[in-house]
Structure 1
């Protein structure tokens, strides 16, 4: 009898894992779609759609990288100017 109970728990655990995977996928789909763009399933996406997605991601990454570089240069420049001004008065 003890063996049967442990197998029932294992089966229940497997069923719950399958449900959790499905709900995680649904949560991902729901979180990645908004009113402007529809979710594209990568399994069913055409090569053109994948190329468009790749191009869009590359453009977004370049814009983010550009902002980071500008911010870094601005901060370093500001620190150098402040140090130069403080050095004159000390």
Structure 2
């Protein structure tokens, strides 16, 4: 039998509660879910899911609009506006 090691982590109470509910719905307990994550990390030689920023501003559509706007400004097609701060209105 392989030796086992103890891993202790601290998480927010709500996160633990929500994760336990999810894992219970999947027929898992917390230790089994964590072991699955660790095993999948080893199989993938990294985190077993995509880790991405959720900054929606720099999506493909907005980048295309920005590029088009820059091109228009470079060709003299644009107007200058003063920046109005939210508190200045």
TM over 0.5: no
Name the TM tier (shorter chain).
0.3 to 0.5
Larger fraction in helix:
1
Structure with larger Rg? 1
Per the normalisation by structure 2, the TM-score is: 0.33
When normalised by structure 1's length, the TM-score is 0.32
